[in-house]
Structures are given as structure tokens and as C-alpha cells.
Structure 1
Amino acid sequence: MPTLTALIADDERLMREQLRAALQRVWPELDIVAEARDGGQAVALSRQHQPDLAFLDITMPVKTGIAAAMELDGQCPVVFVTAYDQYAIQAFEEGAIDYLLKPVDDERLARTRQRWIQRAPETAPDWQAALRQLSSRLEKPAYLRWIRASAGNAVRMIAIEEVLFFQSDEKYTRVQTAAGEALIRTPIKELLAQLDPDEFWQVHRSTLVRVAAIEEVRRDERGLLLRLRGHARPLEVSRGYAHLFQRM
């Protein structure tokens, strides 16, 4: 099989590395000719290198993956790499556009490879129509699904479902799970904008808590305290956020 060329675009270096490694294992004849850190760079590098295939993250700065694909207007087939949940994935499965869920699974990537090899040129989608439909279906905000955090000398990928709470700790933000803790540099204010407000509540200027992890709310001389499942130490609720628990 002749060598094919591809572009990878993702604003997370670790995600680009993970996808590149998966492609080397599953699709060795695919030559990665360029990597982009944002949607604008993805468009520029695609025009420069004319790849046979582009792997675009949906949520990137400058331009989203969808906006970049619309600007390229079918220049090459696109595979979206996404952190959207299974409900939103229906938007892809009803159309002709392929997708991969983060972190990329070798078995699923192998299906993408097979689909690309077997595709017939006459079945190529109307890219503008397909992308407009996809964009309208994905109106739901792209909340975080994974946290890249430092734990000792290692870097961990933590599913957002595992997080009990986030808490500011001087220069870092602590990510607490039932299994332990890790650190990230993203401040609480930025995290708050990236998390689903139905899943995480701010209970203190330095603390964001997973609502489903709250086991008990009690009051003592210090005010309201939260006890979380899987974590022994109670968390303080500051006065400005006490109203969240008035009906609990």
C-alpha cells in the first residue's frame, strides 16, 4: 500500500503524542507530515502540505476543528478527535464524518483505517452541508472530560468522573480523587468555566466540588461542612456559597 500523508491538530501536546503513537502502531503506512497546535495553524499547514487525511481536535483555540474543516472545504477527508460524550457522538454517527474519542483506542482507530481504505470516491460527503449539520447538533458546551495532572514525577490522565474536588494550593490546583491527589497549574477561575455547572459547584473561593460526591452537609461552629464519599477530611463551605445547600 502506498504511503499516505496526514496532519494532526490538537492544542494538547500529550494528546498529539498519544495519537501519533497510536497511528504508528495501527496505521504504519500513514506519514504524519505536520502537527498543529490550533485551528488556524491546522488550516495553514493543510494548505502547505496538502495531506491525504487530517485528524482535527474539535475544541481548539483560534479556530475550532469544525471551523478549520469548513475553511478547508473538503480539501482532504477529516477525522475529528473529540472528548464529547456518547450522546453528542450521535451527531457524528448520523453523518458521513468519522470521529475518534479521546484517548484514542487502537481498535477504534483500526476501524477508521479500514473505513478510509474501503471508501469509494463517489461516496465522499458534501463537506459544507455535513459540517453545518454537525455544528448545529453540537451546541452543547464542550466541558472537560480529562485532566492532565502531575503526580510525583509522572503525568496522569484523570477522567473528570473520578475527580472529587479541585482546590487551590498556592501556585497549583490540587486534583483530588478517591485514589489520591495530583496537581495542575490551571487556576480555579479557569477551571470553573470549563466544567459542567450541573456536575461541579464552587463552594469556596478556592474549592470546586463534584455534586454527586457529596455524602453529607452539616453545620458546626465554623459554618457548613461537606463530607465527600471516598475522602475523609470535610471541606468548608464559605458563607457566600451557603445558599447552594439551603434545600438539601
Structure 2
Amino acid sequence: MSQIASPTALIAEDETLLAQALRTELAARWPQLQIVAMAEDGEAAVDHALKQQPDVLFLDIRMPGMSGLEAAQAVVEDWPDGVPLPLIVFVTAYDQYALQAFERAAVDYVLKPVQGERLALTCSRLQTLLRQRAAGGDAPALGAAVDQLRALLGAGGLAGPRSATAPLSVIQAGVGNTLHMVPVDEVLYFEAADKYVRVITATHEHLIRVPLRELLPQLPPGRFWQIHRGTVVRSDAIDTVTRDEAGKLHLTLRSRPERLVVSRMYAHLFRAM
């Protein structure tokens, strides 16, 4: 992390002109801020953020592939322990209803196209928070930041609205010319894997070409718990929950040998630990 005398930032925006406009406005409003990376999509934003650990992230909500919300979640989940989280500002063209969600989550945002006066307020707020952090004062703690982002993810509908139709009872997994009908009651967990989702039962593994965020709203409500941005577990299949020396939670499942990691975004599900 940089010192407050030389704060750093990343800009993630897929529209080149808007990215350059934001960079120009930031240079005018906050000359000391160093832009250490520019990313055109969410995946690149996450890679740059984890490697360079900037103080501030400006994330466009809507980017190709991984959205700004998903990128923020990935950064928070994979951010190294002991390093202060970056301050996150979402760049959005959302309507007023969505903006109210940002307000409730206490996450800062700027509207597109960027307005200089509004950006100046954001810069002032960021500078105050960074000064508090440098002085060891009452800057946002990790737990508060995670709670705020979790609230925003819920308000933003990352998983999409719950399906109006009956929840899935069977997962259809095709292999060549064969279609396997996998009862949802037999699925222990789902795990995102590149363009596929792994469907894991006690004895078999299947692959389906449905993004996890599209599958989630179709599952029986309350039956499956998301424990990581890429992992969803059937709650009654969980056998034990163990906290390691670093404070991270790991699950074991009935009928499976592997241990699954619970990200800090979803550790609240196991507060009794």
C-alpha cells in the first residue's frame, strides 16, 4: 500500500473515452493521486488490483464479462490478510432506485458522464478516509467494508431475481449424446469452473454450461448457501466448519473428501464459530 503522501488508484472502465475523461478529471481534482493501472474489464481490474494493491478502485458497474460488483467481490475475497482494503468507488449510470441502494450500503459512487463537482466531493471523502487510515484513526474496518459490499451485492441483484417458476428439481447435464438427469437433492455443491459449472454429488461430477449467477435464482430458496463467489453448497450436506490459524473457515461435506473454503464475504453465515 502506498503512503498517504502518494495515494494510488486503479480505473476500470471499458469505454476508452470515459476512462480517459475520468482520469483527466481526477488529475484536475486530485493531482497527487497516481493512476497505477487502467483496466478495460473486470478480470483485468481484479488482476491489477491484487498485484499493485492501490489505495482506491474506480470500478465501472457494467463491463464485459465480470461486472464492477463482481470485480469488487473478487478483490475483497482474495485480498491478502493484514493489508488495508482499497476504498471502492463505483462508476454507474444506474437509475435513482439503484443509487439509493448505493447510499444505503455507504459505498461511494459517481455518475456517468462524470461531473466535476460531484467527483470533487468523492475525492474529498477519499482523502479524509485515507488520512484517517494513515493516522490509525477510525477508518472503515475490514468487517464494515465486507458488510457494506455484501449489502450492495444484495441490493444490486448480482444473482438476479429469483425465478417466478418452481425451483429446479433436476439438473440436466449433457455429455456427448447422453443427457444425465441429476436430482437437485443429490447435489452436494456447485463450483464455477471457467465457462462451466461443476455439479458435484457424492459419487459423480458433471459439467453444465450455465453461469453460476444464472443458476442460483433457480435453486430451492434457503437450501443452497453461497460460500464463495464460485461455490454454492447444499446446507444440509455440510458436516463440519473449521477455523484455521489465519481465521479462515473451511467446510467438510458428508460423503466427500475435499475441504471447501468460505470467503470473508460469506463467513457471516457461520457466526456461531
Q: TM-score, normalised by structure 2?
A: 0.49
SS across alignment from 1:94: helix
- Aligned counterpart, 1:131: 149
State the Cα deviation string for residues 128-187 of structure 1 (Å, max 9, x = none): 3212211221239xxxxxxxxxxxxxxxxxxxxxxxxxxxxxxxxxxxxxxxxxxxxxxx
Alignment of 1:145-156 (within 5 A): none
| Contact 2:14–2:39 under 8 Å retained in 1 | yes
Greater radius of gyration (CA): 1
SS across alignment from 2:28: helix
**Which runs of structure 1 show a deviation greater than 4 angstroms over 4 or more consecutive aligned residues?**
none
Alignment of 1:94-243 (within 5 A): 94-119=104-129, 120-121=132-133, 122-124=138-140, 126-139=144-157
| Contact 2:105–2:149 under 8 Å retained in 1 | no
Aligned-partner residue type, residue 14 of structure 1: L
SS across alignment from 1:62: coil
State the Cα deviation string for residues 48-96 of structure 1 (Å, max 9, x = none): 2111111000111221111111111163111000010122100111122
Aligned-partner residue type, residue 103 of structure 2: E
The answer on 1:45 being equivalent to 2:48 is yes
The alignment of Structure 1 onto Structure 2 pairs a total of residues equal to 142
Structure having the larger proportion of residues in strand: 1
| Contact 1:12–1:37 under 8 Å retained in 2 | yes
SS across alignment from 1:2: coil
Q: Identify which of structures 1 and 2 has the higher relative contact order when contacts are C-alpha pairs closer than 8 Å and 6+ apart.
A: 2
SS across alignment from 1:100: strand
| Contact 1:70–1:127 under 8 Å retained in 2 | no
Work out the CA distance in 2 between the residues paired with 1:95 and 1:135: 9
| Contact 1:43–1:71 under 8 Å retained in 2 | yes
Q: Which runs of 5+ in 1 are unaligned?
A: 141-248
- Aligned counterpart, 2:63: 60
Q: Which runs of 5+ in 2 are unaligned?
A: 80-84, 159-273
- Aligned counterpart, 2:92: 82
Aligned-partner residue type, residue 5 of structure 1: T
Work out the CA distance in 2 between the residues paired with 1:123 and 1:12: 32
| Contact 2:89–2:109 under 8 Å retained in 1 | yes
